[in-house]
Amino acid sequence: MLDPVKAGDIAPDPISADLAGGVLTVDLGALCDNWRTMRAASGAAECSAVVKANAYGTGQGPAVKALRAAGCRTFFVAHPHEAFLARAAAPDATVYVLNGLPPGAGRRLASAGVQPVLGSLHELAEWRREAGDAPAALHIDTGMERLGLTAREAAGAAAQGVGQISLVMSHFVASEEPDNSLNDRQIARFTELSALFPGVRKSLANSSGIWLPQAPHFDLTRPGYGLYGGNPTPNLHPARPNPMRPVVRLEARILQLRDIAPDDTVGYNARWRASGQRRIATLSAGYADGVLRSASVRNTGAPQTHTRPHTGGAALVAGVLCPFAGNISMDLLAVDVTGVPRDAVQAGDMVTLIGDGLNVDEVAARCGTIGYETLTSLGQRYARHYVGAA
């Protein structure tokens, strides 16, 4: 009889570049530099790191280890299982679970030394029942209307005693819009409600919140997106360059090059038609790898409806920005490389989908989404290279 499969037997081997369609390179040095930049911008507050969703697609284990070595002591994740991974990577760090306390999970969280961010009076009561006086954070809602205690509930919670509350926090609705009056409203509300919890540490700012002119840093800041290279200051007037270093670089291999005739169409449903002689490169990446289907470039048939107008995706081929052609497939996509000198490109070459100035924010804008989604959609079947670790 065969032995039952053990977890170790099915743990995937690292994927090597020659056997993968693409290579994802994560610069842990840049990640740590970005954390230091966020820490400097956070004034006297402690700077934590938000590493939910596999550290925004970059790989939670390597990210947590690198950030811990750089001096980060506090980490935020969304789910308990993510917290256990963070704990394993940084056993002496403080780990908070943003999504709160799932029913029945209290004892396991407490024994692992993980703290839920309690988002309702119900969760607070359950935590006390299951975890006794183990510490936890409290989420106060100041305008998102998603999770968190109302003003009245916050007063009720404060009246029950603040001893085991290690942190009170809230979350900005629109901190990437410095002109939005919601920011001042939320800062005022949070200042007022968090004062119900004397002596308890306070936290409000995400990446963009850290850079607001009001400097709402309180005791602890919670950057995520900016750590991974996204621009936390996209709407400043006058504009200023992204203060963050790029962290993610994504390359895919050219499988074939083909010269096509006028009126030939490319890809599923024939949604791109050559206006003349064109040269097409077929890349070994598709929507299963996180190149969103909304990055498709179409010039035939009915126009696609989008929430925002966008140009569609592009790749850097031998340094030339080349637009995608046609619908993105699951495992393949086509790029119009007519603008690249013929002898500068051949099958087997790697082209850049993110990196070399084609940054995460631009890649996202080209397919009508935000860089957060681009990062968290990064696929699982790339060869992953981690560079620049301390």
Ligand X SMILES: *Cc1c(COP(=O)(O)O)cnc(C)c1O
Residues comprising the binding site for substrate?
A: 146, 330
Catalytic residue (choose from 6, 202, 268, 287): 268
Q: Is 138 in the site for ligand X (CB under 6 A)?
A: no
* Span of 59-67, 218-226, 242-250, 287-295 interacting with ligand X by CB under 6 A: 218-226
For 245, the 3-state DSSP assignment is coil
98 near ligand X (CB under 6 A) = yes
- Decide: helix, strand or coil at residue 33: helix
For the beta carbon of residue 304, count every other beta carbon within 10 angstroms: 12
Choices 124-132, 222-230, 262-270, 341-349 (CB under 6 A): range interacting with ligand X: 222-230
Active-site residue flag, 372: no
Q: Rule CB under 6 A: choose which of 31, 41, 50, 165 binds ligand X.
A: 50
Sequential DSSP letters for 36-86:
HHHHHHTTTSEE-EE-HHHHHTT-HHHHHHHHHHHT--EEEESSHHHHHHH
Quick check: helix, strand or coil at residue 326?
A: strand
Q: Which of residues 188-207 bind ligand X (CB under 6 A)?
A: 206-207
72 binds ligand X (CB under 6 A): no
When asked if residue 223 is in the footprint of ligand X (CB under 6 A), the reply is yes
In whole angstroms, what is the distance from residue 118 CA to residue 134 CA?
12
- Residue (96 or 386) nearer to ligand X, CB: 96
Cβ of residue 235: shortest distance to ligand X, in angstroms? 14
If the CB atoms of residues 52 and 253 are measured against ligand X, the closer one turns out to be: 52
Distances (CA, A) of 292 to 264, 302, 375: 24, 19, 11
Catalytic residue among 52, 96, 228, 386: 52
Q: How far apart are CA 382 and CA 284, in angstroms?
A: 10
* 180 sits in which H/E element: none
Residues in contact with ligand X, shown as a per-residue x/- string from 287 to 326 under the rule CB under 6 A: ----------------------------------------
Q: Does 222 bind ligand X (CB under 6 A)?
A: yes
> Could you identify the residue written with the tokens 């007037």?
237
The answer to whether 268 is a known catalytic residue is yes
The answer to whether 333 and 291 are in contact (CB under 8 A) is yes
Q: Which positions are catalytic?
A: 52, 268
Residues that bind ligand X (CB under 6 A): 50, 52, 98, 171, 206-207, 222-226
